[in-house]
Each structure stands twice: as structure tokens, then as C-alpha cells.
Amino acid sequence: MSYYRGPPQPQRGRYDYSNGSHPNANPYQQPGQWRDDRNYYAGGRPQQPYVQPQQQPRPPPQQQPRPQPQRYSRPSPPPKTPRTEAREILDDVRSSKEQRARAFKVLLDDARATPHSTRSVSSLTSAFHLFASDQQEEVIDFVYDLCEDPEQGVRIQGYRTIVELSKAVPSWTRRNADVLVQLLQSDSQTELRVIRDALVSHIRTDPVAAIEVITEHMARAGEVEDKSAQPLTGGMKRLVLDFLMTADVAKARGEKLVAASDAEASFNQGVSEALLYSTRSDAKELLSLIQTLPSWTSQSQPNQFRTQSISSLLERVITLTHKLEAAAAEDALALFILAQDAAAGGNGDPRAFLRFWARMAWSDWTVAEQYEYGRAESILRWLKASMLVWKDVHREQKDDVAAFEESSLTRDVSAAVTVLFLSAAGTFEKAGAANQEKMWAFVDTTLAIFSRLCQTVNRFHTFPFYAHAHQISEDGFVCTSRYILVRTSPQNASFRVRDEGCPWIWIEPRQHAPAEFHCLQM
């Protein structure tokens, strides 16, 4: 409780700047302390004077014992497994032959004991390149046994292990690819997907070996199906062809089958061999595969890729014409049209068609008409194209001039024209009276074409023809069984003049011809 002390006394004296106070103001104010008149005059507790705290004596530091340094001890390694010890022995070049054999046996026995263990199988396959040849055979047999295991997981592991073995030792690519192609007959879509991926990996690892094996299976299966009475619709040929048509294989082909490479040549040769046993539908797919190759559009003369595939198609046409089935005749005609379409606008060797005419055994004029055999534009197109290509190559002096030697070209042209006449004579009697004029028109067209070809190529100075019964000489051709070509004058012509554009070629009965003669002397 505070008492009233009356009005505050006025401050007297001046403000002391040294200690910050007024004289006779606060009796408790100490020098150096700001005065606080609020507590004093308002009746509050006056401010206590400042008292410096006393410092307590510091206790002496206690002597702590110095810790002894502890030496670091490496933890002891875990005990080595037999697989680890065996792998160390194989990696050590100083290991003896007996030690390496024991290590191999340890790895193989461990993998056989636990085929479900990925680690056990990987320990064996990762050291595949360190094994001897006989040991590699045992490993391969073990992996092939995995592919025939009753459980699907083990089989899939075997498929993937085959890829690892081929990458470790590329010399096994061909044999492993052969096994994978046979495994394409699997019914499981999951396994089939893994098998296809494994085959694509083989194509990337060694494209030449893998492609040769794949196409060889396709050609061999096509040959078997062609000889069988009832072709299989889902056989090996169809399985391999479906595999080659997948997007993954197309991507691998684009990466590995570059222009002028061995892989590209192997693929073209393998597919062309498969064309020899193809059907109408298969041929279109096989030809589409070849047309994706970079060398298909090459401008070299002649284009061997086009020539090889077209020759295979025409060879297949000849094979199908020997069969008596109506379906075979339809397939043959379809393949012939497909070969013409493939050669259109390209630079394939036209002599493939010349050899086709020379080898074709016509027995019916109706069949000949189906193949445009009697149409002048078809014959003229291929015979003349062969001449022009030969002239272009010969003029430019290219590296492949040897393929168009004059003697071989002459032989091909003469053989083709010979078969034209022989076929006309053989089918003349079967054609009947209604088609005899067509046959004469066919003979006239052939003579006119041959005349123009001889005028086009100046190198045909002499073209000898020898008549010895029914024989054909090596460098020329002879007449048919009833008619013969002779070079004579219009006054001595005993039959009829068929072509006014070629005044030095006539047809007359064979009995009036000499035994040996020369004609077409330019």
C-alpha cells in the first residue's frame, strides 16, 4: 500500500550526461544506470541496485584414461560354393587339364541336379567358351534336354540358354538355329514367342549362317510337300514363311541385309531355292521378301537378284506343266504371270525367259496360247531385250561382260528359236484345221523376229544351220520333222512364201532340201 506524498518535487539541477540522471531524483539510482522514475513515483517497487554476480570456482578437469586404438579386422568371407571354386579353376590359366575336367563335372552335375535354378544353369553356360569341344557337346546335349523338359518354365529357360551359347561360341550358331527352327512347331504361343525371339537373335549374331539354315528348312519342307500326294497346309514351310513375314524379322533384315553383303546374297539364294517348290500363294510372299532387298532395285546389268528369282519361278512353271492336275496348270500359269510382273520395268537377264522357251515342252496348242506363246509381242519383247542388254553391256565394257558373251548369246537365241519351230511342228497336227492359220502366223512371226534380231546385231555375220535328220547342232538348229528352212530364190520355192519382209527365208518340204547347207549369210 502506498501513501500520498504530495506533488512530486521539481527536479533541481542539470541533467548529468555522465551518469544519465538528474540530481536528487532517484536515491537508488546507480551511476551508469538509466533512471526509472515510473516505478519510484508511481508507487512501485524501486529498482534494486546492480550487484555483480560472483563467479564460482571451476573444478579441475578430471583425468580420463586414453582409449586404446582398435585394429580393423576384415570380416571373414563366406565359405566358397563348389560352383565358385569350379569357376575359379576354369578362369585360372595355370589350372591343369585334370583340374579343369573336375571343375566342368562339378558345374554340369550341379546344373543337372537343379535344372530349375537359373543360377546353376547360368554358371554352366557362362563358362561355355572355356570348355573343350567334347565338353561343349555335353553342355549342348544338356541344354537341348532342357528344351524337352515336361515343365514349360524349364523349356523356356532352355530356349534362352541356346541364345547365350551361340553368342559365346558363334561356331554353334548354325546347329542351334537348326534346332530352333524345328521348335517352331510348338503349340504354345508363349513358347513360340520365345523361340522366334531366339531365332531373331541368331540372325543378328550371325546372319549368314542363320539365314542359310532357315531358308534351307523352308526349301526342304517345300520339296517334301511337293512330292507328297496331300500337301500339308500347316507344315514346316508355312511355319518358316510366317516367321520370315513377322515385323521383328523384317527389322533384323533391314539392319543386317545391307546391299552387296554375304547375308543378302544368302537370303536371295535361299528364298529363290524355296521358289522351286512354291505354290501360287507362297510364291507371292516369297517374292515380296526378295523385293525388299536393297539389291533388287540395283541398276547393274544384269541384276542377278532379279534373274535368280525369275529363273526359279520359270523353273517351277516347267515342273508344274509336267503334272496332269488342273490345279497344277493353273498354278503354273499364275507363276508365269508373276514372273513377267517381277521382270517388268527391271533389268533382269532376259535370257531367263529365252531358256524358259527353250526348255518348255508344249504338247497342246491351247496351253501354248495361255502362255502367250504364239503372240508376237511376247516373243519379240524377250528376245529383243536380250539383244539390247547384251549390246549395252558390251559397249560400256562393264565387269559382267563375260556373262553376255557372243557365243552364249547366240546359243541361247538359236535354242529358243529352235524350240519355237519344233513346238510349232509338234502341235501342228493337234491344232486342227481351225488353228492351222494361227500356227502359220506363229511361224511367220518367229521368222520375222529372227530376221530383225539378225539385222540389229551386226556381229551375226554367219549363222550356220545343219540338217541331219532330227539332230540339232551345237551352234544352230535344224528344221522340223516336216519342214525346213532353206535359203533359195523365189523361183525355186516349192512351197509358199510366208513372210514378205524376209525375202531370203522360205519354207519348203523337207525331201527337197539338201543334206547340209548354210543359210542367213549376212
pLDDT at site 195: 94
What is d(CA 439, CA 365) in angstroms, rounded to the nearest whole number? 9
* pLDDT, the chain, mean: 69
pLDDT at site 53: 78
In the predicted model, is pLDDT for residue 332 greater than 70?
A: yes
* pLDDT tier at 183, thresholds 50, 70, 90: very high
pLDDT at site 382: 55
500-501-502-503 Cα dihedral, nearest 10 degrees: 50
In the predicted model, is pLDDT for residue 234 greater than 70?
A: no
- Check if the beta carbon of residue 298 is closer than 8 Å to that of residue 306: no
Three cell numbers written together for 256: 543386317
Q: How do residues 353-381 score in pLDDT, each as one tens digit?
A: 666 765 664 545 455 555 554 444 455 55
Omega of the bond prior to 302 within 30 degrees of 0, cis? Answer: yes
* pLDDT tier at 298, thresholds 50, 70, 90: confident
Quote the strand ranges of 387-518, DSSP E: 462-463, 483-486, 506-509
161-186 exposure pattern, b = at least 16 Cβ within 10 A, e = fewer: bbbbbbbbeeebbbbbbbbbbebbeb
Average of pLDDT values for 324-348?
A: 76
Q: How do residues 39-52 score in pLDDT, each as one tens digit?
A: 555 555 556 677 77
pLDDT at site 67: 80
What is d(CA 155, CA 487) in angstroms, rounded to the nearest whole number? 77
Three cell numbers written together for 504: 531370203
> Dihedrals φ, ψ of 306, to 5°?
-65, -45
Average of pLDDT values for 127-136?
A: 82
For residue 391, CA distances in Å to 348, 359, 384, 388 come to 15, 25, 11, 5
What is d(CA 164, CA 107) in angstroms, rounded to the nearest whole number? 17
Q: How do residues 463-492 score in pLDDT, each as one tens digit?
A: 333 222 233 333 333 333 333 343 333 333
What is d(CA 423, CA 509) in angstroms, rounded to the nearest whole number? 17
Average of pLDDT values for 296-316?
A: 79
pLDDT at site 335: 86
Residue 23, number of CB atoms within 10 A of its CB: 11
Secondary element (H or E) of residue 101: helix 97-113
**Of the given ranges (22-36, 178-192, 447-461), which has the lowest mean pLDDT?**
447-461
In the predicted model, is pLDDT for residue 274 greater than 80?
A: yes
**502 or 173: which carries more pLDDT confidence?**
173
pLDDT at site 34: 55
Q: How long is the chain?
A: 522
Determine the residue type at 22.
Answer: H
* pLDDT tier at 113, thresholds 50, 70, 90: confident
In the predicted model, is pLDDT for residue 281 greater than 80?
A: yes
Average of pLDDT values for 63-85?
A: 79
* pLDDT tier at 300, thresholds 50, 70, 90: low
**279 or 505: which carries more pLDDT confidence?**
279
Task: Tell me the longest C-alpha to C-alpha distance in the chain.
Answer: 178
Q: How do residues 140-152 score in pLDDT, each as one tens digit?
A: 888 888 888 888 8
Three cell numbers written together for 70: 582398435
Question: What HEC string does 218-252 produce?
Answer: HHHHHHHHHHCCCCCCCCHHHHHHHHHCCHHHHHH
How many Cα atoms sit within 13 Å of 264 on the Cβ side?
18
462-463 vs 519-521, strand pairing mode: antiparallel
The three-state secondary structure class of 471 is strand
Residue 351, number of CB atoms within 10 A of its CB: 25
